Amino acid sequence: MYLEVKDVKKSYGKDNSYIQVLKGISTSLEEGQMCVIQGTSGSGKSTLLNCIGGLDTMDSGSITVDGTEIFGMKPNQLSDYRRDNLGFIFQFYNLVPNLTVRENIQICEYIADDPLDIDELLETLGLTEHQNKFPAQLSGGQQQRCAIARALVKNPKLLLCDEPTGALDSKTSRDILILLEKINEKYGTTMLIVTHNNSIKNMVHKVIIIKDGLIKKEYENETRTPAAELEDL
Amino acid sequence: MKRVLNRRNLRSLRSGFPRYLALLLLIVMGVYLIISIVGSAEMVIQGTENQKEKNKVEDGQFTVFLPLTDDQIYELCGYDTEIEPMFSIDLKTEDDATLRMFKNRKNIDLIQLDEGRLADKYGEAVIEKGYASAHDIHTGDIITAGGVKLRITGIGSVPDYDMCIAHFSDTAVERSVFGLIFTSDEQYDELKEKNDLNAEEYTYAYRLGYTNSNKLKAALKEIKIDPEQVDNKYFCEIIDEKLKDRYEFEDSINELNDGAKKLSDGLNGLSAVIPELKDAAEGSAELAAGTKELKENTGELLDEVFEVKIENLTSFITAEDNIRIEGAAGDVVMDKNAGLVAGIIVLTLFAYVISVFVVHQIEEEQSVIGALYALGVKKKDLMIHYITLPTLISLAAAIIGSLLGFSPLGILMQSKDTYSYFSLPQFDVVYPTYLIVYALVLPPVICAVVNAFVINKKLSRTALSLMKNEQSAGSYRQFDLKTKSFPKLFAIRQMVRESRSVITIVLGMFVSVMIIMLGADSAVLCGNVNDCTVNDTKFEYQYLYKYPDKTPPEDGEAAYIETLSTDCMGYTLDVSVIGISEKSRYFDVSVAKGKNRAVINASLAERYGYRKGDKVAFTDSSSDTDYCFNVTDVCDYSVGFAIFMDIDSMRELFGKEDDYYNVVYSDKELDIEDGRLYSVTTRDDIIRGAGVFSKLMLPLVTTLITTGTIVFCVVMYLMMGVMIDRSAMGISLIKIFGYRAREIRALYLNGNLIAVTAGSLIAVPLAKKVIDAIFPSFIPNVACTIKLAFPWQLYLLIFAAILVVYFIINRMLIGKINKISPAEVLKNRE
């Protein structure tokens, strides 16, 4: 297994404000798989993603990525873990506003040992003509494509996407999903997508549904629908 | 609505307390310094002005050869003018200091006692406070002056010796070697008897009625005296020299007369024995009668030919031209003006620093602001809301700063230097309305205005634009960066993004470096004055004559000095005209013959920009005559203001005899009678006098450099801090990507190094240039060199100090960066 999550628990606060967000999550993902984590607000899906991404610590349990255990890692080790293994895509793109498209991608290229070719990436993502523009000069879809390019340039083994289409209209959302699908096929990138969009689950290999901090349902999608054919995005 | 927003202000204050506290302390420091500097200056200026009336300060003074008669004083006292003798004798103390003894003053220049009472009995004296302080003398102590023991009954000061110097030519006050005592008339007369009568100075002080100084001076010039009335043997010597030809002529006539009489008497006796001699006897009798008549008439003729009646007036100086009077008030005027102007600059800088925070807060809250606009809140309300907290902080700082400034920690501490140099009574602290308004109103007003100006644009966007957190495409300037290095590229972009903070850092650096430069320039100037004095003073002894001998001492070099004056920003400064021989051992100056040809010294050239070939004019205030000179050269001599002439040409210009001199320079001590001399100045005296300035300026230099450094550190810390706050999201983001701490520092802090380095490369020389340009206006009342050039090591030291401060602050900010959590970015989601 490329990603293995075992009995992960996570809580916040103390006494009256104590809340257990993850109550013992266990799951796994194979290399090259696309997986959707679905759930309502407050179900714990983003917390799980953060724990896998090393952005948040878990109270107990185990998460191994490509054989590396991240539980108990120190901040510096977590930093190296993210640097070497992960790519992130956010709902609101989080591009650096005073850097151009190309420069935003360079942020991650700079720290990668074996980065992808930026020009090729720009071409793939349809950003070549926008590479010298600032984020404020781009549409939402273009900004998200830039964010994807930034995440991919490191050639990460695991791509964590937190509501990647949450801020986009349906047409742009479809374009982005097509892109993710294409990347998955082209580079074999393992992807974990957190979303509350019900349609996205149809295009991925695996679906995990979380409710109240526990996995309510988990299944392999045998009949994947290409992103281009997704409805109700 | 307003109440809710005000409550929010309280919460903002609580959450940003360290930052607001730093700003508050910064403004407190600024206001405290302004109040203490300007307030102490005002205290001295107003105190001196009040003292003028209270202690009846003179309108001027004059010195005469012989005391005026009662009739003469009565004549001069027309039009309600008052004249009071201020005769004095210089007495030596056991430690070779000089105490100038006066009688108790009656109507003019009254003694202001700090403690004790006036001396009204034998064996008592009041002592001048500066000397008392330097010698740790207290009321009740016994001192010895002129060989007589005196009990100190009081300690005080007089307004005509505010700057307590022995001679007008003295460059600095030396409390340990010169002071004043005041005794009863009887005690004074007794001491006078014990000391050389010739040493008594006949000085009168006057307060004008319905007349003016010129008329009084003209009347004094009318008073002539017979030189024979003057008892001073050295003065008599000079008069005798002048009358030598007359005496010789008179002696010859007398001898002729005596001879003729003897001849007549002899022939008359012989003619009785030898009748043939009767005609000869008659002839000789006629000769004797003739010579007698000649002798009688020659007296009148000689009186006409050898006019020896001289003016009794030897010097006349008005209070305005007297550097001893209101010396302190004149000295602090520039402190006051500089303090007020510097205050506005510093407060504006602080207000701008605050505005950077407010802008940052608005940018962080723009979606909330948009929502409030959408709900109907007006821009004016939000403007007031965002300005209220900084304005209140400024007001609070202004109040605290003012209280501290007006407290003993402020004005009294600041005026310590003035009190330790000038002889002043303890003035009451004054509270000028303008200063209170300046200190209390200006900080909040500047803060409100600057902030309103800066944030107005930020609040002028539409509700929708604010809610969407839109960044206008024009916010970031498009420019090509050639560098291939991503960290460099990122640092440059970051710097451009944070240009407002960067500009504030550079501005803060400029202002604080200006303050530091002011201190450094003062220190450098003092050092240079000291060095120039040491290097340019080649003689060991300077003997200034009152009554020069016919021929100068063998081992001395005779010269001729006159003192003229020039104007500098309303202040009258002395210019010494020094007549020297062509090959002077003590002045490396090549003088040319010619009545109006002069070499000017470097100090004059620096201050007024005079160059070779210029025509310069200086005034002789005693005769109201202007003298014009052609500058033949500028010499590298920087002790005071001086011009050099060929001694013969100078004698001719000032109408002196061919062998006249009034100063002798020597490299060893000469045997000259004290009575001939006005003063003896050794090289050590001059060097010590020059060193006094360095000592005096040290506290000011320290204050300026410390203040500048604090302003620099605080502004840099706050601005670099706000830059990191504004970049929190970016830092958080790159932490998510896996950037290491060192790499984050390289991206977010290294750009600051470029900004600080580039800023200091601009700010340091620019600040130096600006301060050098305005520095002469801070010392218009001091005739000295204005060599302000820094050694290159000092520039290096300033640059190094800036970088050290930067690295320390950088280090401190690393903690701030480390605290930024990667999860910060995750807040930016639905």
Q: Give the total number of structural domains in chain B.
A: 4
Quote the pLDDT of residue B171.
Answer: 67
| List of chain B residues whose C-beta atoms are within 8 Å of the C-beta of residue A96 | 730, 733
Q: Is residue B221 part of a domain?
A: yes
- Identify the residue whose tokens are 């640097």: A83
Q: Which residues contact A64 (CB under 8 A, 6 or more apart)?
A: A1, A3, A4, A70
CB contact B147 to A (< 8 Å): no
Question: Taking Cα atoms as reference points, which of A112, A2, A4, A1 lies closest to residue A51?
Answer: A4
| List of chain B residues whose C-beta atoms are within 8 Å of the C-beta of residue A56 | 823
B142 and B113 within one domain: yes
B431 and B394 within one domain: yes
Q: Is residue B256 part of a domain?
A: yes
Q: Is residue B806 part of a domain?
A: no
pLDDT digits (tens, 9 = 90+) for B395-410: 999 999 999 999 888 8
Q: What is the CATH number of the domain that holds A212?
A: 3.40.50.300
Give B65's pLDDT tier (boundaries 50, 70, 90).
Answer: confident
Cα–Cα distance between A132 and A174 in angstroms, integer?
A: 25
Yes or no: say if B328 and B418 are a contact pair by the CB < 8 Å rule: yes
Task: Give DSSP secondary structure letters for B525-579.
Answer: HHHHHHHHHHHH---SEEEEESS--SS--TTSEEEEEEEEEEEETTEEEEEEEEE
Quote the pLDDT of residue B196.
Answer: 57
Question: Taking Cα atoms as reference points, which of B124, B165, B129, B128 lies closest to residue B141?
Answer: B124
Cα–Cα distance between A170 and B128 in angstroms, integer?
A: 95
- Of the CA atoms within 13 Å of residue B617, those in its CB half-sphere come to 7
Q: Is residue B724 part of a domain?
A: no
pTM > 0.80: yes or no: no
CA angle B290, B292, B298 (to 5 degrees): 100
Range of the domain at B285: 244-307
pLDDT digits (tens, 9 = 90+) for B422-447: 999 989 999 999 999 999 999 999 99
Q: What is the mean pLDDT of residues B351-369?
A: 85
* Main-chain dihedrals φ then ψ at residue B310, nearest 5 degrees: -120, 160
Q: Is residue A62 part of a domain?
A: yes
| List of chain B residues whose C-beta atoms are within 8 Å of the C-beta of residue A80 | 738, 740
Cα–Cα distance between A138 and A146 in angstroms, integer?
A: 10
B127 and B276 within one domain: no
Cα–Cα distance between B213 and B83 in angstroms, integer?
A: 12
User: How far does B787 lie from chain A, in Å, by closest CA?
Assistant: 48
Q: Is residue A109 part of a domain?
A: no
* Main-chain dihedrals φ then ψ at residue B142, nearest 5 degrees: -110, 135
The stretches of chain A forming alpha helices (DSSP H) are: 45-52, 75-85, 101-111, 118-125, 140-152, 170-187
> Which of A55, A86, A135 comes nearest B826 by C-beta?
A55
Cβ-count burial of A4 within 10 angstroms (0-12 exposed, 13-18 middle, 19+ buried)?
middle
Mutate to test the interface with B, among A56, A94, A102 (most CBs of B within 10 A): A94
CB atoms within 10 A of CB B249: 16
pLDDT digits (tens, 9 = 90+) for B571-615: 778 899 999 998 899 999 999 898 889 999 999 999 999 999 999
CB contact B734 to A (< 8 Å): yes
User: How far does B745 lie from chain A, in Å, by closest CA?
Assistant: 14
CB atoms within 10 A of CB B460: 10
Q: Is residue B323 part of a domain?
A: no
Residue type, A123: E
B96 and B183 within one domain: yes
| Interchain contact, B738 vs A82, CB within 8 Å | yes
Give A196's pLDDT tier (boundaries 50, 70, 90).
Answer: confident
Q: Is residue A45 part of a domain?
A: yes
| Interchain contact, A50 vs B490, CB within 8 Å | no
B412 and B269 within one domain: no
Q: What percent of chain B has pLDDT over 90?
A: 30
Q: Which residues contact B598 (CB under 8 A, 6 or more apart)?
A: B577, B591, B616, B629, B630, B631, B632, B643, B644, B645
CB contact B265 to A (< 8 Å): no
| List of chain B residues whose C-beta atoms are within 8 Å of the C-beta of residue A110 | 486-487
Task: Look up residue B650 and give its two tokens.
Answer: 């100078």
Mutate to test the interface with B, among A41, A50, A57, A98 (most CBs of B within 10 A): A98
Q: Which residues contact B129 (CB under 8 A, 6 or more apart)?
A: B114, B155, B156, B157, B423
Give B197's pLDDT tier (boundaries 50, 70, 90).
Answer: very low
Yes or no: say if A48 and A21 are a contact pair by the CB < 8 Å rule: no
B79 and B222 within one domain: yes
| Interchain contact, A96 vs B486, CB within 8 Å | no
Cα–Cα distance between A65 and A3 in angstroms, integer?
A: 5
Last residue of some domain: B206, B230, B254? Answer: B230
Mutate to test the interface with A, among B500, B737, B744, B829 (most CBs of A within 10 A): B737
Task: Look up residue A36 and give its two tokens.
Answer: 């959707």
CA distances, B806 to each of A58, B497, B503, B705, B717 (Å)? 39, 20, 15, 17, 9
Q: Is residue A213 part of a domain?
A: yes
Question: Taking Cα atoms as reference points, which of B508, B537, B543, B491 lies closest to residue B745?
Answer: B491
Quote the pLDDT of residue B827.
Answer: 61
Q: Is residue B600 part of a domain?
A: yes
Q: Is residue B641 part of a domain?
A: yes
Q: Which of residues 481-500 of B touch A (CB under 8 A)?
A: 486-487, 489-490, 493-494, 496-497
| List of chain B residues whose C-beta atoms are within 8 Å of the C-beta of residue A135 | 471
Q: Is residue A145 part of a domain?
A: no
Quote the pLDDT of residue B829.
Answer: 46
| Interchain contact, B740 vs A83, CB within 8 Å | yes
pLDDT digits (tens, 9 = 90+) for A202-228: 999 999 999 999 999 999 998 999 999
B215 and B72 within one domain: yes
Bridge-partner residues for B62, per DSSP? B204, B316
Q: Give the total number of structural domains in chain A.
A: 1
Cα–Cα distance between B615 and B760 in angstroms, integer?
A: 42
pLDDT digits (tens, 9 = 90+) for B678-699: 778 888 888 877 777 777 677 7
CB contact A40 to B (< 8 Å): no
Interface predicted TM-score of the whole assembly (ipTM), two decimals: 0.84
Question: Taking Cα atoms as reference points, which of B826, B785, B813 lies closest to residue B724?
Answer: B813
Quote the pLDDT of residue B733.
Answer: 87
* DSSP tag of B407: S
Average pLDDT of every residue of chain B: 85
User: How far does B828 lie from chain A, in Å, by closest CA?
Assistant: 7
Q: What is the mean pLDDT of residues B274-292?
A: 82
CB contact A134 to B (< 8 Å): yes
What is the separation, in whole angstroms, between the first and last Cα of chain A? 31
Q: Is residue A102 part of a domain?
A: no
Lowest mean pLDDT segment, chosen from B39-53, B73-87, B472-486: B472-486
Cα–Cα distance between B80 and B99 in angstroms, integer?
A: 33
Q: What is the mean pLDDT of residues B375-398?
A: 90
Give B716's pLDDT tier (boundaries 50, 70, 90).
Answer: confident
Yes or no: say if B813 and B723 are a contact pair by the CB < 8 Å rule: no
> Which of B472, B489, B741 comes nearest A136 by C-beta?
B472
- Of the CA atoms within 13 Å of residue B293, those in its CB half-sphere come to 6
Q: What percent of chain A has pLDDT over 90?
A: 47
Yes or no: say if A164 and A91 are a contact pair by the CB < 8 Å rule: yes
pLDDT digits (tens, 9 = 90+) for B749-787: 877 888 888 889 999 999 999 999 988 887 777 778 888
Query: What is the Cα A39 distance to its own chain's centre?
Result: 15
What is the separation, in whole angstroms, between the first and last Cα of chain B? 28
Give A158's pLDDT tier (boundaries 50, 70, 90).
Answer: very high
| List of chain A residues whose C-beta atoms are within 8 Å of the C-beta of residue B743 | 111
Please determine, for residue B470, whether its predicted confidence score (pLDDT) is greater than 70.
no
B664 and B625 within one domain: yes
B198 and B76 within one domain: yes
CA distances, A2 to each of A47, B250, B419 (Å)? 20, 136, 83
> Which of B496, B828, B830 comes nearest A94 by C-beta?
B828
B418 and B288 within one domain: no
B193 and B269 within one domain: no
Cα–Cα distance between B207 and B110 in angstroms, integer?
A: 12
Using CA coordinates, name the residue in chain B closest to A132. B478
Cα–Cα distance between B120 and B438 in angstroms, integer?
A: 48
Q: Is residue A9 part of a domain?
A: yes
Q: What percent of chain A has pLDDT over 70?
A: 100
B129 and B259 within one domain: no
Q: Is residue B356 part of a domain?
A: yes
Range of the domain at A213: 3-94+156-229
User: Looking at chain A, how many residues does it have?
Assistant: 233
Using CA coordinates, name the residue in chain B closest to A161. B826
CA distances, B88 to each of A190, A211, B197, B200, B447 (Å)? 105, 106, 11, 6, 58
Q: What is the mean pLDDT of residues B727-738?
A: 87
Which carries the bigger pLDDT value, residue B645 or residue B301? B645
B220: three-class secondary structure by DSSP: helix
